[in-house]
Amino acid sequence: MAVLSSPLHFIAQIPPVTRAFTAGTVFFSLLYAYLSWTGSLYAPYLVLVPGSSLFYPWTFVTSALVETSIFELVLSLATMPLSLRYLERLWGSVEILKFIVVSVGFSNIIAFGFNWIEFVVLRDAELFLYGMRYHGQMSLQIAVLVAFTQLIPEHQVQVLGVLKARVKSLPMAYLTLSTVLCIFGFQCPWIIIQFGWFVGWIYLRFYKKNTADTVGGVETYGDRSETFSLISWFPPPLHYPLGVLGNTTHSLATRFHLIPSAGNDIETGLYNQSPASARAEAERRRAMALKALDQRIANTSAPSTASSSSPPQAPRAPPPAAAPRSDDPAMPSAPPAPRSTERTKSVGEVDVGESARSESR
């Protein structure tokens, strides 16, 4: 009985959204495999087909539950349930459900619009409207990697049990793979990875509600730390143009109130880069401490440098000691100074002259 109850006990410990998402992936993937086996490969009500998805709008989200090959299904079942369980326990069921819907839905909307633009330019409806069928969880996989980069960027993992890599390097590696395959003509479904990365980062950067940490009881959104900025994903030569583009777009979005406010810093009353992230707050304080330390080192090294560079000077004679003041009650009175010799002589000469005149009289 214990052996039979152990799988049920394990399933019961899985959070509800993760459990439902995993069950839906298995069910719809097997349904698509059955339709393929019976010969009905065209299933616009299961996968996203740009030419007909307007008549099946649910496919913008439910297409993520369909894996069309056994390899894709095994990969999704091996990675996504564990990842979503971790995030659901950290964020809660409502937030993880919003994260799944936003990451998958908006990525598919961008892919849908991109295919229609290609059709308008190249006029090939058979290829761009009905020849591409977006499916699977690639957009959600890259969005989950972005979330892990935000939460545990320095955590080290083993890829396929052989390669070791840090979590923060995995999204760009996956994005690079998508770019290379798209260049070689495999647009569907690999281009969805690029859209999923961008949508996942924007949602976590500006829109995700921070429920665990609040500043002064005020609800905050996103993660505005420097380590999670747009330019942090790219090499240094691209920082300046991306910074200009990102700042311009952010200013326009703020002007039209398209992104929620990040809040203010309670201690200083200034804008806080990360009001609800303990990691970003520690990073901000550490940067301020390092800046203060650098200033202190610069101030202490400047006088010593100036003194070592100046030429040596001859020692000066000590100034003469000042005579004690006579009006100081703590000092004994000094004897009167003797009169000068010239003064004494002149007085004597006056006395001799006066005696001579008296004798003559």
Which pLDDT belongs to residue 313? 52
Tell me the C-alpha distance between 139 and 87, whole Å: 16
In a domain, 57, yes or no: no
Evaluate whether residue 81 is within a structural domain: no
pLDDT at 160 (0 to 100):
64
Residue 284 counted as domain residue: yes
Q: How far apart are the first and last CA of the chain?
A: 159
> In this structure, what is the dihedral angle of CA atoms 223, 225, 231, 235, given to the nearest 10 degrees?
-120
Report if residue 287 sits inside a domain: yes
Number of domains composing the chain: 1
User: Can you give the pLDDT at residue 96?
Assistant: 95
Strands (E), 148-301: 156-159, 163-166, 209-215, 218-221
276 closest CA partner among 292, 253, 260, 287: 260
Q: Is there a domain that residue 152 lies in?
A: no
Does 220 fall in a domain?
yes
pLDDT score of 49: 92
pLDDT of amino acid 280 = 54
Buried b (16+ CB within 10 A) or exposed e, 18-56: bbebbeebeebbeebbeeeeeeeeebeebbbbbbebeeb
In a domain, 194, yes or no: no
Distance CA 179, CA 166 (A): 21
Written as tens digits, the pLDDT of the chain (361 aa) is 444 456 666 677 889 999 999 999 999 999 999 888 887 667 788 999 999 999 999 999 999 999 988 999 999 999 999 999 999 999 999 999 999 999 999 999 999 999 999 999 999 999 899 989 999 999 999 999 999 999 998 888 876 667 788 898 999 999 999 999 999 988 988 999 999 999 999 999 999 988 655 545 567 888 888 888 888 898 889 899 998 998 899 889 888 888 886 654 433 333 344 334 455 555 656 666 777 777 778 777 655 555 555 555 545 545 554 444 444 444 444 444 444 444 444 444 444 444 444 444 4
**Tell me: the pLDDT tens digits for 11-67?**
778 899 999 999 999 999 999 998 888 876 677 889 999 999 999 999 999 999 999
Q: Is residue 242 part of a domain?
A: yes
Residue 61 has a pLDDT of 94
- Give the per-residue pLDDT at 195: 95
Q: Domain range spanning residue 244?
A: 214-292
Which residues contact residue 272 at a Cβ distance below 8 angstroms, ignoring those fewer than 6 apart?
Answer: 215, 224, 262, 263, 264, 265, 281, 284
pLDDT digit string (tens) for 256-271? 888 886 654 433 333 3
Q: Is the peptide bond before 189 cis (omega within 30 degrees of 0)?
A: yes
> How many whole angstroms from its chain centre is CA 142?
17
